[in-house]
């Protein structure tokens, strides 16, 4: 079930119904990751942390306007949730942003960071860093029609356009002409050709000090950092310089880390005691989704890494991987896998 009525209250990111645009960027968020952060993943992550800001996978304006599926569907429990859009047509982006606000999203984020060829061919993603005025016009078009925040996720540069002056010019244009107040900066530049998207996440060197300097030079802007963050200790270090931290693959591959986020980064109580409780809390969702025709494997692929480093984790992963895709697989498969983790003498993963 996906509840898509307009929200009556803002999520925990700090908004109020009358002033949602100006809520502060969340101190901690999980990056939008294509084919990973789908609605099942986000529901699970929300069980682990009530404070973390969640992002959808990137959705193109074309998919929303012309696609046959409902690309804006989500579960009401996912709030606070941001929609990441891909596109470069201001009118189309404005239309989709308005639809997203009507459906209750807490934020709209424009993708100016993905370097893949497919994205470039669609004229969005990292290649837009070379067209700051167009990005500004896109942001302004969306801001003019919605009251929720409109933000940008970008890189520190592209190809040979990787000077600090280039980055400052981009930010200044998008913040000035586009009236954008919030940026998430992936602290690597992107190579638009010659590297795969995976290599673009690993090969260009991280430059955290450049992002720190950006915050010092644009103190009025809300700036978060992304790229290579693997621990909450690292997140705390970044928060000494910046407004927010976005974690990507580590949060997905080792989701147990999210159980500590609310207490360690927000000073609030953890929603669940441990990983076992998180899986048990997921049972009603699994049963609901199975009743609606969802395959069990579409949900369980997101929970494989939960017990990383815990006795029985290998058996947990193996049991889910071997059984979740079988015809008729139901919540009992997850219960059986969980019983393997509980055995006190299980092999260490």
Known binding-site residues equal 32-34, 84, 153, 186, 226-228, 248-249
CB 156 within 8 A of CB 149: no
Judge whether 26 counts as a catalytic residue: no
* Residues in the chain, total: 349
CB 104 within 8 A of CB 148: no
> How far apart are alpha carbons 117 and 82 in whole angstroms?
25
Write down the catalytic residue from 114, 127, 138, 180: 114
> How far apart are alpha carbons 129 and 200 in whole angstroms?
15
> Is 43 strand, coil or helix?
helix
Residue 194 CB partners (closer than 8 Å, separation 6+):
none
Q: How many CB atoms lie within 10 A of CB 5?
A: 9
Give the orientation angle of helix 275-291 with respect to helix 331-342, to 10 degrees. Answer: 170
Indicate the annotated binding residues for FMN. Answer: 32-34, 84, 153, 186, 226-228, 248-249
As given in the structure block, the two tokens for residue 52 are 């973390």
> How far apart are alpha carbons 344 and 125 in whole angstroms?
48
Instruction: Count CA atoms within 13 Å of residue 302 on its CB side.
Output: 24
As given in the structure block, the two tokens for residue 79 are 């709030």
Q: Which residues are catalytic?
A: 114
């Amino acid at each position: 079930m996906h509840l898509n009525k307009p929200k009556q209250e803002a999520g925990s990111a700090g908004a109020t119904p009358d002033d949602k645009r100006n809520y502060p960027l969340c101190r901690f968020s999980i990056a939008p990751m294509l084919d990973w952060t789908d609605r099942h993943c986000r529901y699970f992550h929300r069980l682990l942390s009530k404070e973390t800001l969640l992002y959808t996978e990137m959705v193109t304006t074309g998919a929303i306007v012309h696609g046959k599926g409902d690309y804006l569907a989500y579960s009401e429990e996912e709030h606070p949730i941001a929609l990441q859009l891909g596109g470069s047509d201001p009118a189309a982006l404005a239309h989709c942003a308005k639809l997203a606000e009507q459906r209750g999203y807490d934020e709209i984020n424009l993708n100016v960071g993905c370097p893949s060829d497919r994205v470039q061919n669609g004229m969005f993603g990292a290649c837009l860093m070379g067209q700051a005025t167009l990005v500004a016009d896109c942001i302004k078009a969306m801001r003019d029609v919605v009251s929720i925040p409109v933000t940008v996720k970008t890189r520190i540069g592209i190809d040979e356009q990787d000077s600090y002056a280039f980055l400052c010019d981009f930010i200044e244009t998008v913040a000035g002409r586009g009236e954008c107040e919030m940026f998430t900066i992936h602290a690597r530049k992107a190579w638009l050709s010659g590297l795969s998207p995976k290599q673009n996440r690993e090969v260009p060197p991280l430059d955290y000090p450049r992002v720190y300097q950006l915050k010092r030079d644009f103190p009025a802007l809300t700036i978060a950092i992304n790229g290579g963050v693997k621990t909450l200790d690292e997140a705390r270090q970044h928060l000494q310089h910046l407004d927010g931290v976005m974690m990507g693959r580590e949060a997905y591959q080792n989701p147990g880390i999210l159980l500590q986020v609310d207490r360690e980064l927000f000073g609030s109580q953890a929603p669940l005691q441990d990983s076992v409780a998180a899986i048990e809390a997921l049972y009603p969702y699994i049963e609901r989704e199975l009743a609606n025709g969802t395959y069990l494997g579409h949900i369980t692929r997101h929970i494989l890494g939960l017990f990383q480093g815990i006795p029985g984790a290998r058996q947990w992963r193996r049991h889910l991987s071997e059984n979740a895709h079988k015809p008729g697989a139901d919540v009992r498969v997850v219960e059986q896998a969980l019983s393997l983790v509980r055995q006190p003498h299980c092999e260490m993963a």
